[in-house]
Structure formats: C-alpha cells, structure tokens
Amino acid sequence: MTLLVTGGAGFIGSNFVLDWLRDHDEPIVNLDSLTYAGNLQNLGALEGDARHHFVHGDIADQPLVERLLAEHGVRAIMHFAAESHVDRSIHGPDAFIQTNVVGTFRLLEAARGYWGALEAPAKDAFRFLHVSTDEVYGSLSGTDPAFTELNRYEPNSPYSASKAASDHLVRAYHHTYGLPVLTSNCSNNYGPYQFPEKLIPLVIHNALAGKPLPIYGDGQQVRDWLHVGDHASALRAVLERGVPGETYNVGGWNEKPNLEVVHALCARLDALQPRADGQSYASQITYVRDRPGHDRRYAIDASKIERDLGWRPAETFDSGIDKTVRWYLAHGDWVAAVTDGSYRAWVSKNYQ
C-alpha cells in the first residue's frame, strides 16, 4: 500500500506529506518537478526516512508515472501538482495550461491504464483524489450565498480556468471510464512553508523587512481562509470516506476582506515582534494597482463534507493566524533561503 503524491514539495503537498507520515506508516512516493514553488527543504524532517521516496519528475511524463504506479503498487493518487499563483497566470498562462490541463490529462491516462489492469479488491479500493480550488466557481457579490458543490463553473483567471479544465477532465474520466475519482474544491490556505508570493506570507515577510504591504485595489476583496493543517485533514477524510465521483467543498467558515487579514497580521506582529520605532506594522500598508479581473468575493459552504464525512476545521482564524505568524518568526532561515533563491541549491546539495 503506497500513496503517490504529486506536487508534494509545494506548500500544501509538503504539509500533507508531513502530516501523513506523522500518523501513518504507509509510504509516500512524492513526484515533483521542483518548479520555483517546489522546495525540498520543506521535507527536511524526512531525510533518511524510508517511508518517503522523492522522485524528481513531471506529471506530464506519462511513462514515468506508469512506472511509478506499477513499481510501488500505488493504491491512491493525491494530485496536488499545479501552477497555483493567480498573478503569475496573468503574466504567463502557458505553464498553467501545460501543467494543470495537459499534466492532469497525462496523469489521468497513466492512472486509467494502471487501474484498468488491477484485479478486485485493489481495483475497487483505488482512488484518484484531485485537489482543486473554489476559484473555479467565479466571483460572488457581497450578498450571494456561499459556493456549494452545485454552483456553476465560471472561472475568471487563466489559473482558475486551467483548474476548471482539469476538474472537468477528472469528472469525465469517472463518467466515461469509471475511474474512481474524488475532487475537493478548497478555499485560500495559509500556514507553514507557503511561498512568500501569496498574501499572508508576503505580508509577514515584507513587514519584517520594512517593505510596503501591497493592497490590491481597495482591499475589500473577500476570501475564505483555511489553515493548511485543516486542509490536510479534510483530504484524509475525502480519501478515506469520500464517494467516488463526488466533489467536496472545503473551507474554514472564515470570510474576511483582505484589509482585515493584513491588519490582523500586523496586530500579531506588533505584539510578538514590535518595530523598533514603536509604530505599528500597519503603517507600511500601501495601496497598489488592482489585479486585472480580480474576483471580488469567494465563500465556501462546507456543509456537505461536514454532513457526509464528519469533517470540520479545527483552527479558528485567530488561532491559525497566531500559529502562522509564530511559525514565520521562528523560521526566518526558511524565508531567507526562499527569498534569496538558495533553497534551489538544496536539491543538488542533498539529493545528487
């Protein structure tokens, strides 16, 4: 019994791998092409651990995936690998189409061939869990009800369109071939090991570095925030108890305007590591040009996963933000290695 995790050197994938191996002995094969977002330092605690087998490779390399599935007798694929940053998708969509659409298609093809040749009961037990986003549902007005699994897909950015395309492929492989797929659509994650291009780690890093805290537009865009540890526990619930062919919304019941999130981060930093001049970090807030096509509001109705699978987030926004700010304060070396680029040397130093 082995899990194949794709993108397990990224933010959510590495948190999932670390959490999994804390509680399970079932090994993980971790396939990651180590783009700028992949960082093996996230998995440093697993060095020498035989339960973690890292493979440097691309999900679009179908023969490689076929070999890994067969060699390791994989019983489930946890598919995290993606290009994940909306701003990057606006500046350069190509990689998003290649990995999120073509890569997912190649992975599905490899899974279909492998699963098709399995005998019961392994065939019945096999799962393909596709980790997706709430952004596929588009943007809500302030008064709209939160997204349910029945909302129409209306992706607005190249990133969300590429994720929507991959969701449709996953759905089609169930409908057409019977591949036992599960899809999760999750809201904004935060927590340890998040690349400091995303709002929360970027604000913490810039605050401590004395740099501006950039607020796009009026800062009143709303996101639902979920601690990454809660996302990992939701994915375990979906893997263990989810019904093939179903989709599950995952969220934190924590809708917040961006400006409120940034003020909450500044308040924690003011308390834990005050500025030398006694001023609040909030004085570094700077309004900048809005993101093109910026979605106004996302909100997740996570009733289905609670009702059907018994999952609810453990962290509140306050407890999760407090833990996260403390983590970044305690891991300045990790942030420095990411921001000065030296994390990329880790692969050659430790794995070759």
Contact 285, 220 (CB under 8 A): no
The most distant pair of C-alpha atoms in the chain lies apart, rounded to whole Å, by 68
Encoding tokens for residue 40? Answer: 């093996």
Residue 69 binding: pick among ligand NAD, ligand DAU, none (C-beta 5-8 Å cut-off by kind): none
**Residue 135 annotated as catalytic:** yes
Interface with ligand NAD by CB under 6 A: which range of 81-89, 115-123, 282-290, 313-321?
Answer: 81-89
Q: Which is nearer to ligand NAD, 115 or 193 (CB)?
A: 193
- Which residues in the 133-162 window bind ligand DAU by CB under 6 A? 133-135
The C-alpha atoms of residue 263 and residue 294 are separated, in whole angstroms, by 21
Report helix angle 158-177 to 104-117, nearest 10.
Answer: 20
Q: In what order do the strands lie in the sheet with 181-186?
A: 52-56, 28-32, 2-6, 74-79, 127-133, 181-186, 247-250
Which of 159, 173, 281, 343 is labelled catalytic?
A: 159
Does the footprint of ligand DAU cover residue 202 (CB under 6 A)? yes
Q: Which of 214, 244, 245, 257 binds ligand DAU (CB under 6 A)?
A: 214
Cβ-closest position to ligand DAU: 133
Binding at 214: pick from ligand NAD, ligand DAU, none (beta carbon under 5-8 Å per type) = ligand DAU
Q: Catalytic: 281?
A: no
Beta bridge partners of 77: 4, 128
What stretches of the chain adopt beta strand conformation (E)?
2-6, 28-32, 52-56, 74-79, 127-133, 181-186, 188-190, 213-216, 222-227, 247-250, 255-257, 285-288
Q: Residue 226 is which amino acid?
A: L
- Closest to ligand DAU by CB, 187 or 233: 187
Copy the structure tokens of residue 53: 């087998």
Q: How many residues bind ligand NAD (CB under 6 A)?
A: 30
On whether the CB atoms of residues 261 and 225 are closer than 8 A, the answer is yes
Cα distance between residue 45 and residue 34, in whole Å = 18
Question: Applying CB under 6 A, does 83 fall inside the site for ligand DAU?
Answer: no
Binding-site string for ligand DAU from residue 287 to residue 326, where x marks contact by CB under 6 A and - marks none: ----x------x----------------------------
Question: Site residues for ligand NAD, window 271-330 (CB under 6 A)?
Answer: none
So which residues are the catalytic ones? 134-135, 159
Site for ligand NAD, rule CB under 6 A: 6-7, 9-13, 31-35, 37-38, 58-60, 80-82, 84, 99, 103, 131, 133, 163, 186, 188-189, 195
Site for ligand DAU, rule CB under 6 A: 84-86, 133-135, 187-188, 198-199, 202, 214-216, 221, 223, 258, 291, 298
